[in-house]
Amino acid sequence: MPADRSDAALETLFLPFSEGRLPWPAGGAMFLRARDGWPLHERPLPGLVCEQSFKPEAYALSQAGFAVNVADAAKTYELVLILPPRQRDEARALMARAVAMTKPGGRIIVSQSNDEGARSSENDLAQLTGDVESMSKNKCRVFWTASLARLNVSLIAHWQQLDAPRPIAEGRFTSRPGIFAWDRIDVASALLAEHLPTNLTGRAADLGAGFGYLSAELLTRCPGITALDAYEAENRALELARVNLKSFEARTPINYRWHDVAAGLPDTYDVIVTNPPFHAQRALDRPDIGRRFIAVAADSLRPGGKLWLVANRHLPYENVLSESFDSVRAVVQEHGYKIIEAVRAKSARKPAKAAR
């Protein structure tokens, strides 16, 4: 996220520091689910370490000069800042982990928008740590611990496990709260898998691989796939894909790429499958992300290569498909979704190399 883009929760998180209600600790701080933005550049923040598993946000922080994903797991901090996710089990687990990362006498501070459950999150933090103080602005709440003297030890231990990996789909896959369609097989992805032809061959990529369902289906149904690259921007999901695709590695080389597809791909492919996201983090509606996935796929397919895509029926992808591909076919429309096969012509085109 560019440092000048509005981010109400991030701005509200730093409100107690800008208004002098809280001091910045001399020993530095840990920022969980960190995002870049102008509040991080308004004043010096010595010793700030950022943790972010979503590649575009992690890249933006790194480009801005912050230390990202380099923390010592055993280290504790005088201050832990959190921008919690929407999914409540994941958010509760993050707060419980923050307690374990905070020094005695330290502080945890959290900010969230009202429509994403700020009041509930404030109550959750109070359950873990006792009394909290709060402020409201920008249709958000920022709240912080008064002390960590009254910790609910049993609740902390319970909440630390709330986002632990677990079996789903009758044990076929491992997943965890907070990733896309974490507790089920997504209907759209299942529809795409059902219509994949068995004669797809060559080197393949799965764009937005999630916990690996489409990759597993592709490898199961198409014995001619000789290698697979699983691209996923959310590292929490990619680590699950490593688990779920492990059994295929004996016969098919698999690369797991923590990567922002919108930045372009570093390689070329014979086959690409994708169920592209159409929401950004924080639930913002972003059909432009799906359009960008399609354009990147076109640039990354070899001559004659095929894209197999599933999308919500209403999403406006037809123009970019017709502009980017030489042949586009609607395979089926069911359950509010459309399956598209798009084919590159057998003429060379220079692929767009990944920026990162």
14, 24, 82, 342 from 43: Cα distances, Å: 10, 10, 19, 50
Residues 6+ apart with CB under 8 A from 162: 89, 90, 92, 93, 96, 177
The CB-side HSE value for 27 (13 A sphere, CA atoms) comes to: 11
Tokens of 278: 């159409």
Looking at residue 38, its pLDDT comes to 96
d(CA 272, CA 229) in angstroms, rounded, equals 9
Question: Is 8-160 CATH 3.40.50.150?
Answer: yes
d(CA 72, CA 58) in angstroms, rounded, equals 17
How many helices and strands (H and E) does the chain possess?
11, 16
17, 39, 142 from 139: Cα distances, Å: 18, 17, 10
Looking at residue 1, its pLDDT comes to 43
Tokens of 266: 């570093």
CATH code matching the domain that covers 166-343, chosen among 3.40.50.150, 2.30.42.10, 3.20.80.10, 1.10.10.60 = 3.40.50.150
Is the distance from CB of 257 to CB of 232 less than 8 angstroms? yes
pLDDT tens digits for the chain (356 residues)?
Answer: 455 568 999 999 999 999 999 999 999 999 999 999 999 999 999 999 999 999 999 999 999 999 999 877 779 999 999 999 999 999 999 999 999 999 999 999 999 999 999 999 999 999 999 999 999 999 999 999 987 878 999 999 999 999 999 999 999 999 999 999 999 999 999 999 999 999 999 999 999 999 999 999 999 999 999 999 999 999 999 999 999 999 999 999 999 999 999 999 999 999 999 999 876 554 556 778 999 999 999 999 999 999 999 999 988 899 999 999 999 999 999 999 999 999 998 764 544 455 55
Looking at residue 40, its pLDDT comes to 97
Looking at residue 284, its pLDDT comes to 54
Please indicate whether the domains covering 8-160 and 166-343 agree at the CATH topology level: yes
Q: What is the pTM for the complete model shown?
A: 0.93
Looking at residue 354, its pLDDT comes to 53
- Nearest-5° Cα angle at 244, 257 to 285: 60
Domain ranges of the chain: 8-160, 166-343
Q: Is 105 left (phi over 0), alpha (psi -120 to 50) or beta?
A: left
d(CA 292, CA 27) in angstroms, rounded, equals 42
Pairing relation of β-strands 225-232 and 166-168? unpaired
